[in-house]
Amino acid sequence: MLGAILLCLLPTVALGQGDVKWITIDGDSAAPSFSLASCNISYQFHVDPLTLDLIHDHWGAYAAETVPQFDGVTGGWGGPYTYSLREFPDSGRGDFRIPTIHIEHSTGDTVSAFAYTSYEVSAGKPALPGLPATFGADGDVSTLTIHMYDNYSSIAADLYYSIFPRYNSVARSFRITNNGSEEVKILRASSWSIDMPNEELDMIDLHGDWASEARVNRRKVVYGEQGFRSTAGYSSHFHNPFLALVSPTTTEFLGSATGYSLIYTGSFAATVERWSTGWVRVLLGLNPLHLSWPVAPGETFTSPEVVSVFSNDKGLNGMSQSLHALYKNHLSRSNHTFETRPPLLNSWEGLGFDFNQTSMVHLAQQAAELGCSLFVNDDGWFGTTYPRDNDTLGLGDWTPQPAKFPDGLGPYVEEVTDITVANTTSKMTFGLWVEPEMVDPKSNLYNEHPDWAMHARSHNRTLVRNQLVLNLGLPDVQDYVISTIEKVLDSADISYIKWDNNRGMHELPSPAANHAYMLGMYRVIDNLTQAHPEILWEGCASGGGRFDPGLLHYWPQSWTSDDTDGLERLFIQFGTSYAYPPSSMGCHVSVVPNGQTGRTTPLAFRSAVASMCGSFGLELDPSDLEQADLDAIPGMIALQQQINPIVINGNFYRLATPDESNWPAAMFAYPDASSAVLFAFQVRSSLKPLPPPLKLKGLDPDAKYTVGNGTVGTTWSGSTLMNKGLSLSWPTVDYQSIILQLQKQ
């Protein structure tokens, strides 16, 4: 929660439709002006009285009224639409920039002419059918709906704008209805489109790859198109569906920043286009390469949602905090979102595929002795005809492997859940790995239903990790996944599911198959999470390949990266935090030298890095550890559990990023400044220069805080800690970490 925020209530409009806060409508009823505003933000646009096109006026800090657009624009080669700031740019009438909506009509042309017809306002926010989206009660959010109609094509467009004043946020999506008599095809659909005036801007996005997710990419917005997209079928490691536009002078704590996130898990495109006028069009939505979506007469198409947050003078941290709070309170619907997560031990890096019931129960006992309260059986537990002893076979056949579990999952899980967690009276809980959207050609499922795998005509089905993607656009496949996972969940006492997805898409039967898949996948996940809200669901896609807001709607956490190297994780986790709350990250401690990078870092460092996340775990075989490390783990877990509530519920501050500092640091503080926790790191041992003082954030300047690591503590006032800062002493050793807890007296 953002905490004790005064909601400045701007004039409430009574529109004969109930009181709707934060939305005002002015001017001529045939061509009104619209404003969504809290005391911190304004989003303004109006209807052009001549063309009935929507003209964008402002998105940013609060402005009391609309200043008329500069009207001295001299035309040129472009039509009039090229020289206006548009809100919902269609194509074919002389706007030569990239359109937000591009429709192919049965005649073959792609000209559209959407004109304003009417509007509606309502308190609250309607759900988007079949799609994940933000939600909120009447007092949290208000929604403006703009109706547009294309007389030439008989196509209606309804534009939804919702304002969340507590989070400086506006959400947008739209719905297209084909009211004509012929099928049309949507070629492009950007959920968010905005034309900004000629301002200097930097664009920030998160790029990466497997085991190197969320690298921060900052560049100047120059003339022409700049952007990024996923054509992988999923949001992917390559680019995250998040974009920030900031002033060139914006830093972590100063300056303006606007963040945009697409609430979607499929292919997407983000495009920023600076035009001759210097104006900047910003588009975020579906990837045109994976769209061509047919809309039959009488049918509708709903775009996924984009949320945008604006930070006026609080820099990138302000932007991230708004996104974090919005996601926790109004996107994630899991009732585990605000809960302390159990420390877990995952079998993957320790045992791989080589286990049986005896060795798994033994591993669970070791986990309990170390203080873990959740034991996760990763890949390799299933497959009868095609026993999954390696990654070449078995995916799709979700039946326990008799050689490993002769009596099935039930009795095995009973053995695990009968183990007592060390020094407690609580029992171990059990979690299981699944990858239900995939199939191995070597499986009973593929033998029975080869047509269920993605394929295009007789093209070879391209294998990655020996597996193929099931086409979740097909209702039969959706029902199969729901019923097989239900069967697994019914067979044993399962508290946690890790839902993995280990490759991108291949050979789509049509470009539209990607969005059809997403709608089917959301149906499956919606069904299973509604039926089992008690289960802690964790998303995973070879690490952070689907760390996106779409899946965070259903699942409260996602595995951040397969790279568990402590140093790499600092970059990945800080990068991920630009768009996502640390509470949603899954982070584990593994053995050294690290399996991915070969790097050796101290256990305390790896543990401190992983403790910055909502879900902490061990991913190792304790038998591989030295006694000193084994002895240290219970204390590490105890500390992690002690600070987990503030990691989950506090506000997160990036104090110094690993991109810029040898001493990266971050902290969490409760909104009421009652307590905080500081994570500080030294990457390389360095004699000179000396580390800069760490100026803390989010404290009460007038209060005194005890600052300690559990062993030693001192007392300082908030003003000293925030304005003078802490000077931490570091030993001349690489990869050091300090965790300090601050408690208001």
**Which segments are annotated as binding site?**
210, 378-379, 465, 498-502, 540, 562
Q: Which structure tokens are listed for 481?
A: 């996944």
Q: Return d(Cα 439, Cα 423) in angstroms, integer.
A: 42
Polymer length of the chain: 745
Tell me the site size for ligand NAG, rule CB under 6 A: 39
Question: Interface with ligand NAG includes 384 (CB under 6 A)?
Answer: no
SS3 287: coil
473-475-479 Cα angle (round to 5): 120
Of 70-78, 281-289, 386-394, 660-668, the segment contacting ligand NAG by CB under 6 A is: 386-394
Which structure tokens are listed for 718?
A: 């908030």
The reply to whether 460 sits near ligand NAG by the rule CB under 6 A is: yes
Q: Which is nearer to ligand NAG, 74 or 460 (CB)?
A: 460
**Residue 63 near ligand NAG by CB under 6 A:** no
- The gap between the terminal CA atoms of the chain, to the nearest Å, is 22
> Which of 199, 479, 493, 700 touches ligand NAG by CB under 6 A?
479
Q: Does 294 help bind ligand NAG (rule: CB under 6 A)?
A: no
Strand partners, 464: 467
Residue 425 near ligand NAG by CB under 6 A: no
| β-bridge pairing 184-196 and 41-47 | unpaired
For residues 368 and 420, the answer to whether their CB atoms sit within 8 Å is yes
Q: Does 632 bind ligand NAG (CB under 6 A)?
A: no
Give dist(CA 311, CA 61) in Å, integer: 8
Cα distance between residue 642 and residue 632, in whole Å: 16
Please pick, among 57, 500, 563, 629, the residue that the annotation labels catalytic: 500
Which phi and psi (to 5°) does residue 363 adopt?
-65, -40
C-alpha pair distances (Å), 245 with each of 91, 177, 259, 644: 25, 32, 7, 32
d(CA 381, CA 365): 18
Min CB(351)–ligand NAG separation in Å: 9
Set 150, 562, 621, 629: catalytic member:
562
Q: Which residue numbers belong to the known binding site for substrate? A: 210, 378-379, 465, 498-502, 540, 562
- Which of 595, 634, 645, 691 touches ligand NAG by CB under 6 A? 634
Q: How far is the CB of 642 from ligand NAG (least distance, A)?
A: 11
| 61 and 30 Cβ atoms separated by less than 8 Å | no
Q: In this structure, what token pair is assigned to residue 709?
A: 């690591």
d(CA 74, CA 270): 29
Under the binding rule (CB under 6 A), the answer on residue 531 touching ligand NAG is: yes
For ligand NAG, which is the closer residue by CB, 5 or 703?
Answer: 5
Segment interacting with ligand NAG (CB under 6 A) among 188-196, 342-350, 388-396, 654-662: 388-396
CB of 237 to ligand NAG, least distance (A): 25
Q: Which is nearer to ligand NAG, 411 or 533 (CB)?
A: 533
Q: Does 641 bind ligand NAG (CB under 6 A)?
A: no
Please, which residue, 198 or 715, has the CB nearer to ligand NAG?
Answer: 715
Give me the least distance between CB of 694 and ligand NAG, in Å please: 15
β-pair partners for 738: 680
- What is the spatial distance between Cα 191 and Cα 626, in angstroms, rounded to a whole number? 53
Distance of closest approach, residue 52 Cβ to ligand NAG, in angstroms: 5
Say whether residue 179 binds ligand NAG (CB under 6 A): yes
Query: Minimum distance between the CB of residue 530 and ligand NAG, rounded to whole angstroms?
Result: 4
User: Quick one: 709 or 727, whose CB is closer to ligand NAG?
Assistant: 709
As a 3-state breakdown, the chain gives helix, strand, coil percent values, each rounded to 5, of: 20, 30, 45
Q: Is 562 designated active site?
A: yes
DSSP label at residue 692: P
**Closest residue to ligand NAG: CB criterion:** 371
Among 1, 25, 31, 52, binds ligand NAG (CB under 6 A): 52
- Measured CA to CA, the distance from residue 175 to residue 299 in angstroms comes to 10
Closest distance to ligand NAG from the beta carbon of 204 (Å): 20
d(CA 707, CA 680) in angstroms, rounded, equals 13
Active site residue 500: yes
- Within 243-371, residue ranges assigned H as helices are 315-330, 348-351, 357-370
From 148-156, 234-242, 545-553, 651-659, span contacting ligand NAG (CB under 6 A): 148-156
Give me the active site residues, please.
Answer: 500, 562
Q: Which residues bind ligand NAG (CB under 6 A)?
A: 2, 5, 39-40, 52, 115, 149, 151, 154, 156, 166, 168, 179, 335, 356, 358-359, 370-371, 387, 389-390, 392-393, 422-423, 460, 479, 482, 527, 530-531, 533-534, 634, 709-712
